Amino acid sequence: MHKAFHQGSLIIERLEENGHEAYFVGGSVRDTLMNRVIGDIDIATSATPEEIQAIFPKTIDVGAEHGTIIVVTSEQESYEVTTFRTDGTYTDNRHPDNVTFVKSLEEDLKRRDFTMNAIAMDKDGKILDPFHGESDIERRVIRTVGKATERFKEDALRMLRAVRFSSQLSFFVETDTFIAIQKDRALLEMVSIERKTMEMEKLLKGQGVKNALELLVTTGLHTFLPHFEEKGNHLKELAKLPVYELQSRSALWALLVIVLNVDDVETFLNSWKLPKKVTKAAQENLKVIEQVKRMGWVKEIIYRSGLEQSLEAHQVMAVLGWENKSKSVQIHKIYNALPIHSLKDIVLDGHDLVEIAGEKRGKWIAMLYQDLEMALIHEKTQNERAALKEWVCNWLQKYDQNY
């Protein structure tokens, strides 16, 4: 068994000592069976949230009403422990609106979305797999637990999750599940945008994004995503790009805006309800890309955007095939060679300027700094006091003539 399960086994042992059942469940079991890197380790148990809290010294209540308690085992490690349950409808990101705690593991596995996600593993690594998830994993198939149509009526997000997993795992969607998605796709309208956004981002980051985006369009699911309705062909173009090479959300959304040829960027990004920070950074990327398209990677752009922003914009352009990947080395070099990296690096400060000019602070200081930045970057003067003083005196003369 994977090393990461070791601590988890101790939690399971403690629960068993107290007369409860407990198993590893969900994504970590699936990923272990596939020899993939595992993410969070989840544990399902017959113990109620109160019983879990009574057994472990350090717990965090993240949703006892949904049956979920986090058990903290060390500073770095904690595990989500969830009481066996069945679900009501989901409207928020993670939890169904109402749940019923149930007695058996099998009932809990039955409420899970796909057979590959409905496998349990006991503390010794023994697999319990009532819905034959293991053989579906072997055949690389995504299949709902039970009748697809019924499962999609309970929670329509599962349709999008199927496509997301097909991207992450490079799996196929089994025929009945596929047909049900095509038929029931309009149910996706009922799902909150936050849940859709989360799945969409995971979809775009997957290695199997090519097939997944094609699947998104052939099932027609895309027509129930914000501003994607008329963009089927654009999405197929997007499918051809190595989208998974992008690391940040803001790069991802900037790419989407470009490939989908979005007119109203603000409305588009807002309709996906992205955090303000992501929206702003995506727009910043778009601005830099626009400038680079006109002027190339000139010093001024790299200085104004900073290294991180420049590299992110470059990464988007590389995915688009507009730039060579290796250009990033050059961007690094240009940045490192800049005489200053921000106003703070200029050795004359505001006080010095007031003294040299013999004038009070005013708008002129900002204007001077703007010109001075460019003069320094283009090496028209040097960042040391004597040279700067001379440059400032010249500038003031011209300023006096003009104003």
User: By CB neighbour count within 10 A (0-12 exposed, 13-18 middle, 19+ buried), where does 178 fall?
Assistant: buried
Contact pick of 11, 157, 187, 200 for ligand ATP (by CB under 6 A): 157
Q: If binding is defined by CB under 6 A, does position 203 make contact with ligand ATP?
A: no
Whether residue 108 contacts residue 102, with contact meaning beta carbons closer than 8 Å, is answered with: yes
Burial track 280-308 (b if 16+ CB lie within 10 A, e otherwise): ebbbbbbbbbebbeeeebebebbbebebe
Look up residue 318 and give its two tokens: 């590389």
> Shortest Cβ distance from residue 229 to ligand ATP (Å)?
24
**Residue 8 interacts with which of Mg ion, ligand ATP, none, CB < 5 to 8 Å by class:** none
Within residues 32-71, the interface with Mg ion by CB under 5 A covers 40
Look up residue 29 and give its two tokens: 């079991």
Cβ-proximal residue to ligand ATP, closest one: 27
**Residue 157 interacts with which of ligand ATP, Mg ion, none, CB < 5 to 8 Å by class:** ligand ATP
Q: What single-letter amino acid sits at 152?
A: F
Q: Which of 268, 240, 7, 33 is nearest to 134 (CA)?
A: 33
Separation of CA 260 from chain center = 19
Look up residue 194 and give its two tokens: 């936050």
Report how far residue 65's alpha carbon sits from residue 100's, in angstroms, rounded to the nearest whole number.
10
Nearer to ligand ATP, 118 or 317 (CB): 118
Nearer to Mg ion, 202 or 327 (CB): 202
Query: Judged by CB under 6 A, how many residues of this single chain contact ligand ATP?
Result: 10
Q: Which of 80, 179, 317 is nearest to 162 (CA)?
A: 179
Contact pick of 27, 226, 306, 339 for Mg ion (by CB under 5 A): 27
Within residues 269-328, the interface with ligand ATP by CB under 6 A covers none
CA angle centred on 92, ends 226 and 215, rounded to 5°: 45
Q: If binding is defined by CB under 6 A, does position 27 make contact with ligand ATP?
A: yes
Using CB under 6 A, which of the segments 98-106, 151-159, 271-279, 370-378 binds ligand ATP? 151-159
Give whole-number Cα distances, 39 to 8, 25, 27, 79, in Å: 13, 12, 7, 11
Nearer to ligand ATP, 34 or 64 (CB): 34
Nearer to ligand ATP, 156 or 368 (CB): 156
> Shortest Cβ distance from residue 4 to Mg ion (Å)?
13
Within residues 75-94, the interface with ligand ATP by CB under 6 A covers 90
Nearer to Mg ion, 5 or 268 (CB): 5
> Shortest Cβ distance from residue 69 to ligand ATP (Å)?
16
> Shortest Cβ distance from residue 288 to ligand ATP (Å)?
31
> Shortest Cβ distance from residue 168 to Mg ion (Å)?
11
Look up residue 22 and give its two tokens: 């407990």
Q: If binding is defined by CB under 6 A, does position 143 make contact with ligand ATP?
A: no
Report how far residue 232's alpha carbon sits from residue 228's, in angstroms, rounded to the nearest whole number.
7
Nearer to Mg ion, 29 or 311 (CB): 29
Look up residue 294 and give its two tokens: 């006109």
> Shortest Cβ distance from residue 238 to ligand ATP (Å)?
21
Cβ-proximal residue to Mg ion, closest one: 27
Within residues 97-126, the interface with ligand ATP by CB under 6 A covers 112-113, 117
Nearer to ligand ATP, 117 or 285 (CB): 117
Three-state SS letters, 247-270? CCHHHHHHHHHHHCCCCCHHHHHH
What are the counts of helices (DSSP H) followed by strands (DSSP E) for the chain? Answer: 19, 11
**Residue 112 interacts with which of Mg ion, ligand ATP, none, CB < 5 to 8 Å by class:** ligand ATP
Binding site for Mg ion (CB under 5 A): 27, 40
Binding site for ligand ATP (CB under 6 A): 26-27, 39, 90, 112-113, 117, 155, 157-158
